[in-house]
Amino acid sequence: MTAMLTTTIKIKGMTCMGCVNSVKNALKNATGVIQVDASLNPPQAAVQYDQASTNIDLLKEAIIDAGFEVVDA
C-alpha cells in the first residue's frame, strides 16, 4: 500500500472565494490527489495525496497553471 501524505501549500494571488474554488478544482483534477481544503485566510491549500501518483512539485505546478503563485516558505 502506498503512503498518503498531507502537505500545506501557501498561495499568493487568491482574493475571493472564486479564486479558492479555482485552486481547489485545479488540485482536485491533479493525478493522485485525494482531498483538498483551500482557504483565503490564510491563503493556502491543504492537500492529501498519494505519493506514488504525484509529488509536491506537480501540485505546485497545478496551482501555477491555474494562475496563482506558490509561496515557498
Is the model more confident about 73 or about 18? 18
pLDDT digits (tens, 9 = 90+) for 19-35: 999 999 999 999 999 99
Whole-number pLDDT of residue 72: 84
Is a pLDDT exceeding 90 seen at residue 1?
A: no
Q: Mean pLDDT throughout 11-23? A: 97
Backbone angles phi, psi at 44, to 5 degrees: -160, 170
pLDDT digits (tens, 9 = 90+) for 38-73: 999 999 999 999 999 999 999 999 999 999 999 985
pTM for the full predicted model: 0.92
Integer Cα distance of 72 and 37 in angstroms: 18
Domains of the chain plus CATH, in order, are 4-71 (3.30.70.100)
